[in-house]
Amino acid sequence: MHAAALLLALASLHCVAAPARIASINLCTDALLFDLAAPAQIASVTALSRDPTLSTHAARARDVPVNHGRAEELLTLAPDLVLADGASAAATVALLRRLGLRVETLPMATNLSDVIALVQRAGDLIGAPARAAALAARLVALEASPPTAAPTALIVQPGGFVPGPDTLGPTLLALAGLRDLAPALGLDRGGFANVETLLLARPAVLVRGGEASAGRALADNFLNHPALVQARHAHGGMHPVAVSDAAWACGSASLIDAVTHLRAALASAP
């Protein structure tokens, strides 16, 4: 009887420990909140989460109070838990802790193992370990059945920027069954690829962002350079595939959508 009573007490404590009001001060922790928390738990997310070019949860974020990462906003909200990550302002995090708020800083993910660990850690903090375990299983499944073909590819963002290994870009390509050309081009740490580099390397696939705001600046039109268009028509290769940068910028469920979308686009490519 005593053991049963102890187990009930521990279970009760576990339920009490699950935070009822959670605020996020970073886009990536916004995504984890939307993926794992019950709607009633989400006290606030960042204002940037309402921008569809930056967040895959923009529609849901319109119904949630937003913050700009300022300490006074968080104090007014009085959340039980504040989620931050390595990109969050260290001074703000330190101040919030000094003022008595519980702030948990989550690591940034740069590969699939990081993403899985991040999801599990977030699930524990939020009080949703079962939802986190289910999402982790879906992420593991990405690696269990990658496509067998490995055409060359390069992620090319506005102005010719190629993201490096401190992002999930290389992981996105690998999970989609693509061979990242960045290391062979001397861009294994990230950097800029110019038009001449692309013409000489002619990767089979160019992965670009899928934002509706493309064309607002010259940098957004980089892949429409006449030389690239002519070479594509004359020699093939450099097939452009649009994948929202927001879908793979963070370690969250959106990575699954990004990989699935890229695989489907490749399967239907001419």
CATH number, residue 210: 3.40.50.1980
**What is the pLDDT at residue 216?**
65
What pTM did the predictor assign? Answer: 0.87
Residues 195 and 156 in one domain: yes
**Residue ranges for the chain with pLDDT beneath 70:** 1-16, 145-149, 211-216, 270
CA distance 17 to 12: 9
Of the candidates 100, 116, 141, which is a domain's last residue? Answer: 141
Indicate whether 162 and 137 sit together in one domain.
no
**Residue 7 per-residue DSSP state:** H
> So what's the pLDDT on residue 235?
87
Mark 206-216 as b/e (b = at least 16 C-beta within 10 Å): bbbbbbeebee
138 contact partners, CB below 8 Å, separation of at least 6: 253, 256
Determine the Cα–Cα distance for residues 39 and 13; give it in Å rounded to an integer: 22
- Helices 27-36 and 129-144, packing angle to 10 deg: 110
SS3 31: helix
Q: Does residue 49 lie within any of the structural domains? A: yes
Would you say residue 216 lies in a domain?
yes
Smallest CA-to-CA distance from 101 within 74, 73, 65, 64 is with: 74
Q: Are residues 136 and 162 in the same domain?
A: no
φ and ψ at residue 156, rounded to 5 degrees: -125, 115
Number of domains observed in the structure of the chain = 2
Same domain, 70 and 168: no
Query: What is the structure's pLDDT at 212?
Result: 47
Look up residue 50 and give its amino acid: R
The per-residue pLDDT for 10 is: 36
Q: What span, in angstroms and rounded, lies between the C-alpha atoms of 130 and 182?
A: 38
Residue 10 resides in a domain? no
Q: What residues contact 96, with CB distance under 8 A and at least 6 apart?
A: 71, 74, 75, 82, 103
113 and 157 part of one domain: no
Last residue of a domain, one of 120, 141, 162: 141
Strand arrangement, sheet containing 42-46: 66-67, 42-46, 22-24, 81-85, 103-106
Q: Is 169 in the same domain as 257?
A: yes
Tell me, what's the pLDDT at 6? 35
Token pair 């740069």 is found at: 110
The per-residue pLDDT for 211 is 63
| Domain limit, last residue, from 91, 106, 141 | 141
**Does 13 fall in a domain?**
no
* Range of the structural domain that residue 262 is part of: 152-267
Q: Taking the alpha carbons of 124, 65, 84, 81 in that order, is the dihedral positive or negative? A: negative
Q: In this predicted structure, what is the pLDDT of residue 217?
A: 72
Q: Is residue 1 part of a domain?
A: no
Q: Taking a C-beta distance cutoff of 8 angstroms, is the pair 62, 47 a contact?
A: no
Q: Do the bridges between strand 191-192 and strand 161-162 make them parallel or antiparallel, or are there none, so unpaired?
A: antiparallel
Specify whether 157 is located in the same domain as 244.
Answer: yes
